[in-house]
A and B are shown apart, each in its own frame.
Chain A
Amino acid sequence: MHEWALAEAVVSTVSQIAEREGLRRVTEVRLKVGELQQIEMEILRFALSELKRSSLLEDAEFIIETEKAELTCRVCGHKWFFKRIEIDENAAEAIHFIPEIAHAYIRCPRCGSPDFEVTRGRGVWLESIKGAKQDD
Chain B
Amino acid sequence: MDAEYGLKALRVRSKMTDPRVSVIEGRLKKVNSILAVSSGKGGVGKSLIASTLSLALASKGYEVGLFDIDFTNPSTHIILNAEGISPTEENGIVPPKIHGLKYMSIIYYSDKRVSPLRGVDMSNALIELLAITRWGSIDFLVIDMPPGISDAILDLIRLVKKASFLMVTTSSKLAFETVRKLTSLLLELRVPVIGVIENMKMRESSFIQEQVKGMGLRFLGEIPFDYSLEEAIGDVDKLLKTLFAQKVEELAEKIIS
A: which residues have CB within 8 A of B? 1-2, 4-6, 8-10, 12-14, 16-17, 21-23, 27, 32, 90, 94, 97-101, 103-105, 114-115, 122-134, 136
Contacts and interface: CB of A to CB of B under 8 A. Distances in A.
B19 A5 contact: no
19 contacts: A2-B92, A2-B93, A6-B20, A8-B23, A12-B22, A17-B14, A21-B3, A22-B10, A98-B109, A98-B128, A100-B121, A103-B117, A104-B113, A104-B116, A126-B14, A126-B19, A128-B14, A129-B12, A132-B10
A114 B116 contact: yes
B23 A12 contact: yes
B110 A6 contact: no
B92 A4 contact: yes
Contacts of A131: 9-10, 12
B137 interface: no
Interface centre among A16, A27, A98 (most CB of B within 10 A): A98
B17 A126 contact: yes
Closest 6 pairs between A and B when the two form their complex, measured CB to CB: A5-B92, A94-B109, A9-B19, A13-B19, A104-B113, A4-B91
Given A1-B128, A105-B113, A131-B9, A17 B17 contact: yes
Interface in B11-69: 11-14, 16-23, 26
Interface in B111-136: 111, 113-118, 121-122, 124-125, 128-129, 131-132
A10 B34 CA distance: 26
Contacts of A99: 124, 128
Nearest to B118: A115
B115 A9 contact: no
B152 interface: no
A87 to B, nearest CB: 13
Nearest to B3: A21
B4 to A, nearest CB: 9
Given A5-B91, A9-B23, A115-B116, A127 B110 contact: no
Contacts of A4: 91-92
| Residue among A1, A32, A114 having the largest count of chain B Cβ atoms under 10 Å | A1
Nearest to A97: B109
B8 to A, nearest CB: 5
Nearest to B9: A132
A16 B20 contact: no
B177 interface: no
Contacts of A9: 19-20, 22-23, 131
A127 B124 contact: no
Contacts of B118: 115
B19 A6 contact: yes
A111 B255 CA distance: 50
B106 interface: yes
In this complex, which of B1, B9, B109 has the most chain A Cβ atoms within 10 angstroms of its Cβ? B109
A27 B124 CA distance: 30
A105 to B, nearest CB: 7
Nearest to A17: B12
A133 B131 contact: no
Given A9-B131, A104-B113, A124-B19, 14 more contacts: A5-B93, A8-B91, A9-B23, A22-B10, A27-B9, A90-B111, A97-B109, A97-B128, A100-B125, A123-B20, A123-B124, A125-B16, A130-B10, A133-B10
